[in-house]
Amino acid sequence: MCGIVGYNGKNKAVNILLDGLEKLEYRGYDSAGIAIRDKEIEIFKAKGKLVNLKDKIADKELNGTCGIGHTRWATHGEPSENNAHPHSSNDGSITLVHNGIIENYHELIDKLKKHKYKFYSDTDTEVLTNLIDYYYKKYKMGPIDAINRTMVRTRGSYAIAVLFKDHPDEIWVARKDSPMIIGTNKDGTYLSSDVPAILKYTKKVYYIDNLEAACLKKDKVIFYNLNGDEIEKELKEIKWDISAAEKEGYEHFMIKEINEQPEVIKKTINNYIYKNKIDIYKSGITEEELKSFKQIYIVACGSAYHVGVCAQYVLEDLTRIPVRVEIASEFRYRRPILDKKGLVIIISQSGETADSLAALREAKSQGIKTLAIINVVGSSIAREADYVLYTLAGPEIAVATTKAFSTQLIVFYILAIEIARIKKKITERNYIELIEELENIPYKAKYILDNLTRGIQKIASKFSHTKDAFYIGRNLDYAISLEGSLKLKEVSYIHSEAYAAGELKHGTISLIEDNTLVIGIVTQEEVYEKTISNLVEVKSRGAYIIGIAAENIDVSKISDFALTIPKTNKYFYPSLSVIPLQLIAYYITIDRGLDVDKPRNLAKSVTVE
């Protein structure tokens, strides 16, 4: 969602802030702004793309070495320059940027109006600015006391960065349920909502926890708890390579990240498998615990939820443990009844997804063990889960996930194989065979990228103006069709739906007419004949069929365009069939002339409900 950056140090702040905001564009935004402190605090804001803000300050001489910046994704109040951040208190003594939602802002506005505060925007953020100002002046407190009182008084989620007029050369920050990291090097201190914004400057970071605050000085960072006491934080090192957050010659991040999949899949496999043996025990989980679980709950949002649907098929078939897949935004609100001998698995690329974090906390409140599958070390979910299995996707910049999705799938395969071994549901020979075939996935993924991309480019131009698309499959093919459909709709804005192929005759087939695009995924030998029958049915009603099939299954006779993927174990086909689905979505979007990396109205990390 919104992005926050900040810098306090020896160098001019303006370019560092703008560079950081550019690196956070993938989070989604509709306006941007910065506040630079020189002798006074100067604020500049603009609606729309970051270039509008850059144009606005192009002729300004901004020499300040302390400042904060923000990209806003509208929640309260329309996208406008007036609603853009930073916001200031009535007399300009407090300047603030905010990521999150303040749920009791109406109540706080009423309180502050009684004390003669005026409000000039439609945002909930302006409430925070004036509330800090109110406590700061009324009780003649220092910044930490005013911020802590504000944290106690507000309900909702927030990460804030604050400039106090009376405290030059300091940036004050605090957070609750919204992400924030703080970096440091010899040139100063940095803050950001996400790693890519500061990766260019430093890999040395602090992770600030919930209900904590900090003061960024030019040469150090001081942390505080909710009582205002100083606390110690451990400095961590980010392992990501800065090149992973750059396009490196690719036109878009999405196609770069699609092409990075063979490499990151291999890295993730190598992180957990060595000499035909799986080791997931650095996470702290034990074989005894894995053996003891009687139920598995997988909780996630969006594409991560689709990983969970795939994982349900694989886990249940391999381990014979019952698995439920839950949409995170619904999980806690239906008051779930959880088996005390169960395991709740949370999937999130960022580790900051608000609904997934809430689901994790709900599971923990019921005393259920939790395991997180996460891409970002030090994220909130990673810190709060009982156990963590990291994917090694590296920074993912495009809003539409590709390589993070694929590495999440790989971790689930590894987990399923290991549980099956522990529970003696597979033989030692089966165990070795599954591992060996898993280790071949990166090479088969590379084969697909090398050999199918050109054909997909050609077919994408034919359907760039289609209005409706349908994805069908059975078993794991249905599970991955959910992701293919989402990819198309989120980046191309084409209406798309995924259906279990057997459900066609229960209503969906009435939507098929001449030249309707139907993408059929056919890899599962046990049910492929039934899926082919369904494709014949839609073809007889005028559909144009793209068939994606394993090399031992012939769909060329019924498909207008057939794509063949290498043979693999039945459990692993989603890792191969998803690649042409990603490429179809990418090239259709490019042909439509849309911004594939930053689809409208979408954010990379959904950090508010």
Tokens found for residue 35: 């506040």
CA 568 to chain centre: 29
86 upstream amide cis, omega within 30 of 0: yes
Structural domain including 578 reads 448-597
454 in the same domain as 397: no
Residue 266: how many other CB atoms lie within 10 Å = 18
Domain shared by 160 and 269, yes or no: no
Q: Is residue 516 scored above 70 in pLDDT?
A: yes
pLDDT given for residue 352 in this prediction: 84
Q: Which two tokens stand for residue 414?
A: 């590894």
- From CA 480, how far away is CA 304, in angstroms rounded? 11
Count other Cβ atoms within 10 Å, centred on residue 283: 16
Give 76's pLDDT tier (boundaries 50, 70, 90). low
Tell me how many degrees the CA angle 171-22-192 measures, rounded to the nearest 5.
30
3-state SS class at 385: coil
In degrees and rounded to multiples of 5, residue 8 shows phi and psi of -145, 110
Distance CA 195, CA 321 (A): 37
Residue 514 and residue 542 in contact, taking contact as beta carbons nearer than 8 Å: yes
Q: What is the pLDDT of residues 38-56, one digit of tens each?
A: 889 999 999 988 899 999 9
Give the CATH number for residue 589: 3.40.50.10490
Q: How confident is the model at residue 605 (pLDDT cuts 50, 70, 90)?
A: low
Strands 369-374 and 387-390: parallel
Q: Which long-range contacts (CB under 8 A, 24 or more apart) does 137-144 make?
A: 137/93, 143/167, 143/170, 143/172, 143/215, 144/172, 144/213, 144/215, 144/224, 144/228
Within its chain, how far is the Cα of 573 from the centroid?
24
Q: What is the DSSP string of 256-301?
A: HHHHTHHHHHHHHHHHHBSSS-B--GGGS--HHHHHH--EEEEEE-
Q: Please state, in angstroms and rounded to a whole number, the distance separating the CA atoms of residues 95 and 130.
A: 9
The better pLDDT of the pair 36, 240 is held by: 36
Pair (352, 462) in one structural domain: no
Q: Is the pLDDT reported for residue 494 higher than 90?
A: yes
For the chain, the 3-state helix, strand and coil shares in percent, each to the nearest 5, are 40, 25, 35
Q: Is the pLDDT of residue 325 over 70?
A: yes
Residue 609: inside a domain: no
Query: Does 454 lie in the same domain as 433?
Result: no
pLDDT at 262: 97
305 falls within a domain: yes
Boundary of a domain, candidates 202, 219, 242: 242
Whether the per-residue pLDDT at 582 is higher than 90: the answer is: yes
Tell me how far apart the 2 most distant CA atoms of the chain are, in Å. 80
Q: Are residues 109 and 174 in the same domain?
A: yes
Do 133 and 263 have their domain in common? no
Average pLDDT over residues 584-601: 90
555 pLDDT above the threshold of 70: yes
- Residue 604 known to be catalytic: yes
| Same structural domain, 188 and 235 | yes
Task: Report if residue 20 sits inside a domain.
Answer: yes
Looking at the fold, whether 344 and 482 belong to one and the same domain comes out as no
Give the pair of three-digit tokens for residue 190: 């940095």
DSSP for 42-98? EEEEEESSHHHHHHHHTT-----SEEEEEEE--SSS-S-TTTSSPEE-TTSSEEEEE
In a domain, 130, yes or no: yes
Q: How many domains does the chain have?
A: 3
Sheet harboring 517-522: ordered strands across?
Answer: 495-500, 468-473, 517-522, 544-550, 561-565
Give the pLDDT of residue 105. Answer: 85
- Token reading at 178: 């919204």
Q: What is the pLDDT of residue 287?
A: 95
Measured between alpha carbons, how far is residue 74 from residues 123, 146, 265 in Å? 9, 26, 35
pLDDT digits (tens, 9 = 90+) for 334-350: 888 899 999 999 999 98
Residues 6+ apart with CB under 8 A from 326: 297, 298, 299, 300, 308, 336, 359
Ranges 336-345, 350-359, 477-486: which has the least confidence: 350-359
Write the CATH number for 227.
Answer: 3.60.20.10
Same domain? For 167 and 133 the reply is: yes
Q: Are residues 357 and 462 in the same domain?
A: no
Q: Binning pLDDT at 50, 70 and 90, where does residue 245 land?
A: low
Query: How far is the C-alpha of 159 from the C-alpha of 235, rounded, in Å?
Result: 20
- Please work out, in degrees rounded to the nearest 5, the angle formed at the alpha carbon of residue 175 by the alpha carbons of 170 and 177: 165
Residue 316: enclosing H or E segment and its boundaries? helix 302-319
What order do you get walking across the sheet with 181-185 strand by strand? 41-47, 31-37, 66-72, 3-9, 188-192, 181-185, 204-207, 236-237
Q: Do the domain assignments include residue 247?
A: no
Q: Does 603 map to a domain? A: no
pTM to 2 decimal places: 0.81
Q: How confident is the model at residue 604 (pLDDT cuts 50, 70, 90)?
A: low
Domain end residue (candidates: 419, 439, 459):
439
Q: Looking at 45, 47, 444, 604, which residue is catalytic?
A: 604
Looking at residue 243, what is its pLDDT?
Answer: 65
Between residues 479 and 122, the one the model is more confident about: 479
Q: List the catalytic residue out of 2, 66, 215, 310.
A: 2
Asked if residues 13 and 216 have their Cβ atoms less than 8 Å apart, the reply is no
Percentage with pLDDT > 90 across the chain: 66
Say whether pLDDT at 247 is over 90.
Answer: no
For residue 143, being part of any structural domain is answered with yes
The reply to whether 607 falls in a domain is: no
**Catalytic annotation on 66?**
no
Residues 196 and 275 placed together within one structural domain of the fold: no
Q: Are residues 492 and 378 in the same domain?
A: no
Averaged over 307-328, what is the pLDDT?
96
Mean pLDDT of 190-210: 89
Look at residues 189, 221, 242 and tell me which one is the last residue of a structural domain. Answer: 242
